[in-house]
Chain A
Amino acid sequence: GQQLNQSPQSMFIQEGEDVSMNCTSSSIFNTWLWYKQDPGEGPVLLIALYKAGELTSNGRLTAQFGITRKDSFLNISASIPSDVGIYFCAGLRKETSGSRLTFGEGTQLTVNP
């Protein structure tokens, strides 16, 4: 299947620090999505990106859709304890069989107070 390479796999930071994570792929995507998942829950959509080069913010979160359409990054500024969780990137690509949503492996974020 399609692969999205997400890095880093895990991060341990102090409260107040900024965080950056990214996803890359060998395939082009039409849409990039970033999600956060709390333990035992479904992922919650944080940011959606629709155009190459697009830079979008949602509070302390900022994400960009790479110019090549094969990558995206997510930044979290001034982290707080409730930012703890797993962050996933996802790429949506239109195929002949319909649109297919592929996920990265996730970045586990731990924030120390």
Chain B
Amino acid sequence: GIQVEQSPPDLILQEGANSTLRCNFSDSVNNLQWFHQNPWGQLINLFYIPSGTKQNGRLSATTVATERYSLLYISSSQTTDSGVYFCAVEAGAQKLVFGQGTRLTINP
């Protein structure tokens, strides 16, 4: 099956900093979604982005499908951005496969 690798596994930043999270995948994908899981366990869908670039406020994402990676950019980080960021992909197996996540901690 498809392999999904996220990096870095952990990231600690000060409030106001910018960050880039990466998701590499081992095969062509039909579907790629980014999620944020807050410290209480709630998963929020950030982007549905199998290819191209999207922006939503301080967050943006780019997927380069031909090179099999996606990037999530967070600008001007806030403490509420803390949590785990998951990339999930679908590559013909008819289900989303989640990466192991990047744990982001934003300190005030």
Q: Are A and B co-members of a single complex?
A: no
- Chain A residues proximal to chain B, CB less than 8 Å: none
- Chain B residues proximal to chain A, CB less than 8 Å: none
